[in-house]
Amino acid sequence: MVRHQGGHSIAVFDPERWAKKELQARVYNLIAEDRAHFVVPADYSDGSQLDITVKGVLGRIARDEAGYRGGGTA
């Protein structure tokens, strides 16, 4: 629903369980069914893939909003 409304979705998974085929299939289905923009390990520390992804999404939103309002820089 988030994607349908124009939002950005980030799915996280337990990296310790990644070896299980069932988890991999669920992650692949999220991507194949267009239900998640990003799928990253559930590591909430600074500099993790999740941290970089969240900051990147926020940067994209800020950039898009600045451009929409005409506040972008040349």
Per-residue H/E/C for 17-60:
HCCCHHHHHHHHHHHHCCCCCEEEECCCCCCCHHHHHHHHHHHH
pLDDT for 20: 92
pLDDT for 65: 86
User: Which of the two residues, 71 and 61, has the higher pLDDT score?
Assistant: 61
Phi, psi for residue 4 in degrees, rounded to 5: -60, -35
- Rounded-to-integer distance, Cα 10 and Cα 70, Å: 28
Beta bridge partners of 38: 10
DSSP 48: S
DSSP 52: H
Mean pLDDT, rounded, of the chain: 87
Instruction: Decide if pLDDT at 31 tops 80.
Output: yes
User: Which of the two residues, 15 and 4, has the higher pLDDT score?
Assistant: 15
